Structure 1
Amino acid sequence: MTNDLVRVRLDVSYDGREFSGWARQHGRRTVQGEIEDALRVVLRRDETPELTVAGRTDAGVHARGQVAHVDLPAEVWAEHGTQLLRRLAGRLPMDVRVRGVGEAPPHFDARFSAVWRRYAYRVTDHPGGADPLLRGHVLWHNWPLDLDAMNEAARGLLGEHDFAAYCKKREGATTIRTLQELAWVRRPDGVLEATVRADAFCHNMVRALVGAMLFVGDGHRPPEWPAQVLAAGVRDSAVHVVRPHGLTLEEVGYPADSELAARNLASRNKRTLPPLPGRGAAAGCC
């Protein structure tokens, strides 16, 4: 960061139903596009400020605790900073809100500084379907779900693994992730809610994991099946990527300010799994 730029953190919420995801796309309505365009207008800039985000959510996915940053000239921040939140509220459409704006600490990066992202997926197995007032945020699964079986399946997926079986492959990107938390509860209103927390997620990972666990919950597969799919390392046609509207990015976690620089470096390193016991790192395939 140069002396004439200020890094600004934005805390963002949005209803993803009418968006083609976070990332700006030509000819499509996106969260990034709406916020960047609003920033250009309220800051009275000719050029469009560019946001960096903690997690690029897919089309239809919601967020309650998304985090982004933008680098602004110091004189622009000094002039507009105190009124920026209110002005954005007046400019943005109602399905996206910037809930907080502030100068970020040194070395903060919304993407690379994050140590975890926490999502929630919500589903109902009520025979009458989803509550009409929740239909845009809760998936209806037309089979009774066994909460205990789903949690047993979830425990077999925790830890650091190559999640290639649950991810849509992207060229040059690793699918190794550390799944820190995965658990289901049934809320008082009957909705089942999964908490899914990891250091990072690859494309479609949460929705594929949920799809596998729903298959266990409704009795189509045993609780050990999702872990077996994980160990096989290839996509299984029985693993369905569930619809996006049940998924919400709830929170992004960051380390203490003094650890931000080190975290940025660690996040940029491409990850590999350690070799299996008894097998050298350069072991050949068979």
Structure 2
Amino acid sequence: MVRIALGIEYCGTAFRGWQSQANAATVQDALEAALAVIAGEPTGVVCAGRTDAGVHATHQVAHFDTQVERPLSAWVRGVNTHLPDGVAVRWAKPVGDEFHARFSARGRRYRYLLLNRPQRPGLWQGRVGWHHLPLDLGAMQDAACRLLGEHDFSAFRAAECQAKTPVKTMTQAEVRACGAMLVFDFEASAFLHHMVRNLVGTLVYIGKGTHPPLWVDELLAMKDRKLAAPTFSPDGLYFRGPIYEAHWELPQPDDDLIDGMLA
């Protein structure tokens, strides 16, 4: 038995999220079906971070166990020939049995792209969020800094969230402008269900002047989801990948592609 780790990218627009569901097109279902063709047997996968419907991934990581011997190219190019448009395996690497795509991760990273202009997106439709009124970048940056550190993020947690604790450590919370595109980057020990989209919604409310940056402090203290802003659209959310210890020697996320498109 050998364990293989995979690096995967996908556009979530056509999928009902990562996790397998009955009568729904999901990334997990598509990947497992493609792997089964190459392996010649049913092959289940475990991912680093499940994504919701419409959410994208630039560096999802998953692992699977198999008894068959195949060249690594089969797990990349071979699997890709059986995957639908919008999802592709980037790399494959053998790992030890102690590696687990989810539980070996010591952190995770997300990016949200928000088009801030009067006209709705055309070229970027389905791949960015959108707000038509001007937003105050400085106010959002001030508010984002208040998210850093260990906090109870209950105010940004979906009601159906199954996490054991709402307490997470945020190590990056930044907002920058790239032309008409606002780029939100978050890195934390772990994230709650809808947490990033709820954070973006709150920062947008602050950016349009509905609340001051201090509102973030109040929401963290009150721990009440009903008091924060509505959940923002999934269109602009990208899972940028898990963070592993260096000794696993896994390929690193390639952020140059999106950064280059924004430049």
TM-score, with normalisation over the residues of structure 1? 0.83
Deviation at 1:171, TM superposition (A): 4.8
Deviation at 1:251, TM superposition (A): 2.5
Distance change (3 Å), C-alpha of 1:216 and 1:62: same
Whether the 8 Å contact between 1:11 and 1:65 is mirrored in structure 2 is yes
| Residue 127 (structure 2) pairs with residue 137 (structure 1) | yes
Identity percentage over the alignment?
39
| Residue 55 (structure 2) pairs with residue 23 (structure 1) | no
The alignment partner of 2:226 has SS state of coil
User: What's 1:182 paired with?
Assistant: 173
| Residue 29 (structure 2) pairs with residue 11 (structure 1) | no
Q: Please, which of 115, 122, 127 is the counterpart of residue 124 of structure 1?
A: 115
Larger Rg: 1
Deviation at 1:85, TM superposition (A): 1.2
Structure 2 CA distance for aligned equivalents of residues 104 and 57 of structure 1? 24
Deviation at 1:213, TM superposition (A): 0.4
Q: Please, which of 44, 50, 57 is the counterpart of residue 51 of structure 2?
A: 57
Whether the 8 Å contact between 1:66 and 1:251 is mirrored in structure 2 is yes
Deviation at 1:83, TM superposition (A): 2.2
Q: Please, which of 27, 33, 36 is the counterpart of residue 32 of structure 2?
A: 36
Structure 2 CA distance for aligned equivalents of residues 106 and 223 of structure 1? 46
Instruction: Map Cα deviations across residues 23-75 of structure 1 (whole Å, 9 max, x no partner).
Output: 00011010000000111112111xx21111100001110000100000111xx
Q: Please, which of 221, 231, 235 is the counterpart of residue 211 of structure 2?
A: 221
Structure 2 CA distance for aligned equivalents of residues 13 and 175 of structure 1? 28
Whether the 8 Å contact between 1:22 and 1:58 is mirrored in structure 2 is yes
Distance change (3 Å), C-alpha of 1:93 and 1:247: same
- How many pairs does the alignment contain? 248
Gaps of 5+ in 2: 249-263
User: What's 2:222 paired with?
Assistant: 232
Structure 1 CA distance for aligned equivalents of residues 125 and 70 of structure 2? 42
Structure 2 CA distance for aligned equivalents of residues 186 and 171 of structure 1? 34
Deviation at 1:106, TM superposition (A): 5.0
Deviation at 1:82, TM superposition (A): 3.9
User: What's 1:196 paired with?
Assistant: 186
Q: Counterpart amino acid of 1:203?
A: H
Q: Which moved more, 1:216-225 or 1:161-170?
A: 161-170
Whether the 8 Å contact between 2:19 and 2:50 is mirrored in structure 1 is yes
Whether the 8 Å contact between 1:120 and 1:193 is mirrored in structure 2 is yes
Distance change (3 Å), C-alpha of 1:172 and 1:56: closer
Q: Counterpart amino acid of 1:128?
A: Q
Q: Please, which of 86, 91, 96 is the counterpart of residue 95 of structure 1?
A: 86
Whether the 8 Å contact between 1:6 and 1:103 is mirrored in structure 2 is yes
Gaps of 5+ in 1: 259-286
| Residue 143 (structure 2) pairs with residue 153 (structure 1) | yes
Deviation at 1:227, TM superposition (A): 2.0
Instruction: Map Cα deviations across residues 206-249 of structure 1 (whole Å, 9 max, x no partner).
Output: 00001000000011110110221111011134411001011001
Structure 2 CA distance for aligned equivalents of residues 98 and 26 of structure 1? 23
Structure 2 CA distance for aligned equivalents of residues 116 and 42 of structure 1? 31
